[in-house]
Each structure stands twice: as C-alpha cells, then as structure tokens.
Chain A
C-alpha cells in the first residue's frame, strides 16, 4: 500500500522576527498515513493539528523537514497535489450568502474543473444523502449552522478527492448532524478503494468510532500513534477512576499525589467530574482522603474501562478539554 502522507522531521515555527518570541507549532513530526486509511489526529486546541493540515493542503510551508502528499512534495509539487485533495474545516463560513446552497457548491466544483452538468447531478445526489434536498435552493445566509456545515462537507466530497482533510468537521454540531457526517465519512472511505481521510478532532468518541489509526499530538509533538484499540490496551494495566464531587478549589493539587499518572476534570457549574489514571488502585484512597479533607463531598466513584481520554491523560498528564 502506498503512502498518502509522509512527514519526516516536520517542523513549523511561527513568528520569531521583529523581537517576537517564536512559536513552534510542529516539532520534528514523523508520521506516515497509508492510502485507504481513516487516520485521526487527536489533540487539544493549539496542539498543532490545523498547522499540520495546512501544510499538507499546500497552504503553508514547513520551516524544516519534508512532507509528501500522494507521493508529491508539498513545497515543490503543490500543483500535482491540489487536484486530488480537498479540505473541510469546522465552523467554516465560506461561500457567498446571496447564492443558494446548490449554487455555492456548483461554484466551488468549478474551481476543480468539473463539467457543469456532472457537478449539478453530483450535488443534487449528495444533498439528498445529507438530508438537504429541501434546502438546495435556499440562500446560504438563511440556513442554520448545522445545515451550513453539512453543505461544507458536501463541498469537500463533491470533487471526489483521493485525500480529504477534515479539520474538526463536527465542531459545534448537534448529535443528529454529527451522526450524518460521521456516517458519510465512514462509508466514503470504506466503500471506495484508495480513498484516504485525515481527520482532526478533539472529540475522543469521534476519533475512537471513526479512525483506523490515530496519532495523539500535543504541543507540536506526536506522542503516540496506533489503532485506538491498541492505544487503549496500552493503559489497561493502569487503573482508571471517575469521581463526581462537589466543586473543589484545590483540584489541581491532585496531580501531586504520588501514584497519580494524570487526571482531567470538567465541571457543569454545580459538580465536578474528575477522571484519573492511577499507577495502582490503592492510590484512590489517598485521593478520597484529599477531597474529603478539603470539604468536598464525593457523590460517586466509578472504576472505568480505559478510553482514548485515559490514553491522552496518561501521555500528556492532563485532559483534552
């Protein structure tokens, strides 16, 4: 199987001139994605996911290192790459509000040289698949965020690329819209030979559900790269617990308790859910003592199966949120 993406020692630094502090967005990244894979990049905001995609999509040059997309160098052979790729970003507001959904999609298809009638037929078929037929003639400025994002996804796939970059494609969407998009992505890559998807997300469940393999990336570095099941197995020997507690102002101090490999917490305003990866189960007693000594009331304590979030916590030492 040929490689769809091949990055070697890829580094991208922003700024650094006029006395500004340079920011290393990607730091010696080595990554290979094979043709036909649905590959995920999982990482928090600012991890370098979008920078990586922009380089692959020929919109940004690497500072050092080499990157090949579909066998072509992104810096010297961008023109050979562009007809075969496309990209969709979450929260995208591209297109023109005075055009209808169908017209916008047609316009973008023309930038890839699709014959006009073929483009119109494909667009109609895809809008039907996405449950958007009734919005085909609606002006883009009148449709909802979810409908707009579905239109963006159609835009990305309508040119039938060999490799598509999906940068947080379900960002901010409701469950139904996300489900439709995820189903289409999975079907598209599995039912056609040689089609590749590079998906970035910070939704763990989405990455787990969709990806054949994924790379966990943080602060510009790839920390792990494997199939989701294998990554989860790598933390199976550790103990993972979830505690639901009343708000604890000293929550960050939990990380200092010996035996805590990492934790993440999220709050809904009234309660706090804390997820731990521990070296051994007995450490949970120290955590309970810590919380109770600080007047936090423990509502529930659950031992959980490892998830991608636990993998992330173990690798990074903190949660994704």
Chain B
C-alpha cells in the first residue's frame, strides 16, 4: 500500500474522535466559551478602569480566543500520549504500521478543528458583548498568519508529545511550567514589545507570541498596536518555526520510541 494513503487514513482515523467530540460533549459550550468570557471580561474592565485605549479591548478578546489553542496544545496534544499510555491506546498506535507523525497529525487536526470552533465562538461573543472595533486591512494575510501559527504551534505540541510518550507524569511539570508564564511572555492580552525586545524575542520560541503580534497588526490599527516586528517578517519566522518543530518532532519521536522500547517504558507495567 502507498504509505501516503495509509498515513492519510490513519490521520483521519485519529482526528475522528476529536471531531465528533464537539457534538457529543456539549459541556464545552460552558467550560470553553462562557467561562473564558468571564476572564476576558475581568481584563477588559481592568483596562477600562485604568483608562487604557479602547483597542486593548480587542487585544483581550483576541488573546482570550487564542488561549483555547494554547491550552489545547498543552493538555490535549503534548500530554495526550500520557493519557494514551494509561488507557492502553499508545501500544496499539505503536503496534500499527502507520507513521507516528500521522497519529500526531490526526490529533492536531482534530484538536485544531475542535478548538477553532471554540475559539471562534469565544471571539464572536467577545466581539459582540464588548463592542470590539476591527480594522482588518489584509484578510488574506490574517488567514495566512493564523494558519501558519497553528501549524507551528501544533508542531511544537507534537515535539512535546514525544517527551510525554516516555516520561509521563515527569513531563507534567513542563506543562504546568509552561501554562501560566506564557500568558505574560507571549503577550496574550497586550503587545509583547512592551516587555522589551529581548523578552519578546525569547517568547517568540512559542509560535503563538509572533502569531498574536502579527494578528494584532492585521486586525487593529493605531500606535497602541506597537508591533514587535513587521507582520510579514513574523510570518516568515513562523514558517521557519513550523518546519523546525515538525522536523524536530519527527526525530524526537523516533528517538523516544527507540529509547522507550529499550527501557520498556512504552506500555503499562501490568499489560
């Protein structure tokens, strides 16, 4: 069989549970849309109380919507292999002939589909409730930045997932370590350049930092946008990050699988 067909089918097979999850677990409407709106509301009212420019309301809504992707990458992408190992799925994935990257791509595709619906719903609600003013000058540029950010971000998730395949709970600390600081370092609710060039540069290792900065430039106008780099440059860097993370994920996964087979850590002890 052509390996492309096998891997395509494997990817769609793995994406399927996440795609149907949207319909079968409607609790996400409360937990992933309405609750984040409360957090966004808090930031918006802080900004308004401080007399911040109105465009900051838009920054918060954009950051709030994009938070869903970050959390999805951390908890449903990077750490997914830990859960898969616990349920016995991981050994069935590794037993099957498809590329391991196909499984990860399926997880990413399903995750992106699910999270895009959630993020878009949050964005629309935030847009309406908080009366956000958009000035989208280049919609195709915005779409390109969003898509490349997703590929780079989920590529990073794939890289992290190889760690979870082997280290399980040990890698949990990495997730906890990454979750909260990124809201600051990646400038989820404000222009990241305000942290200074070098902090913004370091934060750019996480693709969502550049993605958010570029999207702010393409969705809002005025000096408050305060870009870190021109969005075109950020797009090129994001393309580079996407390649680096995907290739690194492929090799890291192969290495971790070999190490896991040598040390007997790919399957549960009782199985």
Contact = CB atoms under 8 A, between A and B. Distances in A.
Contacts of B10: 110-111, 113
Interface stretch (B57-65, B89-97, B121-129): B89-97
A60 B264 contact: yes
Interface stretch (A78-86, A244-252, A273-281, A311-319): A78-86
Nearest to A159: B96
A95 B258 CA distance: 24
B16 A93 contact: no
Nearest to B10: A111
Contact of B88 (A57, A61, A94, A107): A94
A93 B1 CA distance: 30
A103 interface: yes
B21 to A, nearest CB: 6
B48 interface: no
Contacts of B180: none
Contact of B92 (A79, A108, A110, A116): A108
Number of chain A interface residues as a range: 20 to 34
B193 interface: no
B9 A113 contact: yes
Given A14-B264, A59-B267, A89-B271, A110 B17 contact: no
A98 B88 contact: no
Interface string B48-76: 00000000000000000000000000000
B97 A82 contact: yes
Q: Tell me if B's interface is mostly helix, strand, loop or mixed.
A: helix
Given A93-B87, A94-B92, A107 B13 contact: yes
A59 B13 contact: no
A98 B20 contact: yes
Interface in B246-271: 258, 261-262, 264, 266-267, 271
Interface of B: 1, 5-6, 9-10, 12-14, 16-17, 20-21, 24-25, 87-89, 91-98, 103, 258, 261-262, 264, 266-267, 271
27 contacts: A50-B271, A54-B264, A58-B261, A59-B95, A59-B261, A59-B266, A60-B267, A79-B97, A82-B97, A83-B97, A86-B95, A87-B91, A87-B95, A92-B88, A92-B271, A94-B87, A94-B88, A98-B24, A99-B17, A103-B17, A108-B96, A110-B10, A110-B14, A111-B9, A111-B103, A112-B98, A113-B97
